[in-house]
Amino acid sequence: MTMTTQTEKTARKRIFLSSPHMSDERYEMQYIQEAFDTNWIAPLGENVNEFEKELAAMVGAKSAAALSSGTAAIHMALKAAGVGTGDIVFCSSLTFAATANPIIYQNAVPVFIDSDYETWNMSPKALEKAFEKYTPKAVIVVHLYGLSADMDKIMDICKKHHVTLIEDAAESLGTLYKGRYTGTLGDYGVFSFNGNKIITTSGGGILVSDNEERIAKVRFWSTQSRDPARHYEHSELGYNYRMSNIVAGIGRGQLKVLHKRIEKKRYIFEYYKRELGSLDGVKMMPINEWNEPNCWLTCITLSGKVRPLDIMEALEAENIESRPIWKPMHLQPFYKGYDFIGSGVSEEIFENGVCLPSDTKMSDEDLDRIVKIIKGLW
């Protein structure tokens, strides 16, 4: 029996799509230790308060509410916007289900808006067309894979129709649109700290806005809407949505290395672009001149003989994780009865696209291994 060589071990090493990456400096542990030292292992606390302030200051928002998930943050944004039973909400179709599900939580009606090829995000033309047919209470625009939507056009349309604009920036923390952070351009912005995001708290999210009164109300709703009375008094429906003190401590530590993570994500994108961008039928995800993306996941579309499944299966055989582009919401079984405005761009991106491994812990050796496997298909 021969001993396994180091090279063979490296060749089979698991490479993740995008996994948690704690700081080398162990900043997270400092804040967690503080919570233990003060015995504040509870919802709310110093870490929660400071995380809200630190993140709001970083992105340039006036206020923030730290919550249990990005989904909870979207839910609270809709509630803060006054969305209720029977209201129409326009929503990007090319996204994860967590963007759309809170619309249903509020007993509202989603209308899905197509993407454009220029941004992969909500098409301003399709949005204009939707306004010809419906009068929505709110619009949820997604910044997919860290790419900014065409925000000037979308904001102009929403302002013209006096409609609340909610940015789902779950995938785009640190992305700049014309010098401003995504999540701060609309009325409300949502960030996610799920385990696969650019920074993580294991699970969690945050809602930001310049409307401090509404954010204060979100904090109230998210703490079971407990009225300021000596006894437990509840005059409104509440939710158990607040972030815990431990989780927020991880977030504070992660925030210190956000720009390092963005730098590495952009490096990964450029590596793939250099090595794969000239292959027949390969097109990199679109990066516009007004957009400084965080490149959360590097994605490509394919128009030649090699298909997304070929790449995914070849990588999977070597213990490397990749995945398809999000399946658009209007194609999902649960949402099949809801209207869709567009020409099928999001469907084409889904059918032809693949998300490549974009883990910030990857070495150049890992990246070389990945591109060799992919190039071997041509």
CA distance 313 to 307: 10
Check residue 270 and give its pLDDT.
98
Per-residue pLDDT tens digits for 115-168? 999 999 999 999 999 999 999 999 999 999 999 999 999 999 999 999 999 999
The span from the CA of 335 to the CA of 214, in Å, is 30
Residues near 274 by beta carbon (within 8 Å), at least 6 away in sequence:
none
User: For residue 112, which of 148, 140, 73 has the smallest C-alpha distance?
Assistant: 140
3-class secondary structure, 235: coil
Q: Which residues of the chain have pLDDT under 70?
A: 1-11
What was the pLDDT predicted at 43? 77
pLDDT tens readout for residues 85-102: 999 999 999 999 999 999
pTM: 0.96
Structural domains of the chain ordered from first start: 27-255 (3.40.640.10), 258-375 (3.90.1150.10)
Return d(Cα 332, Cα 340) in angstroms, integer: 12
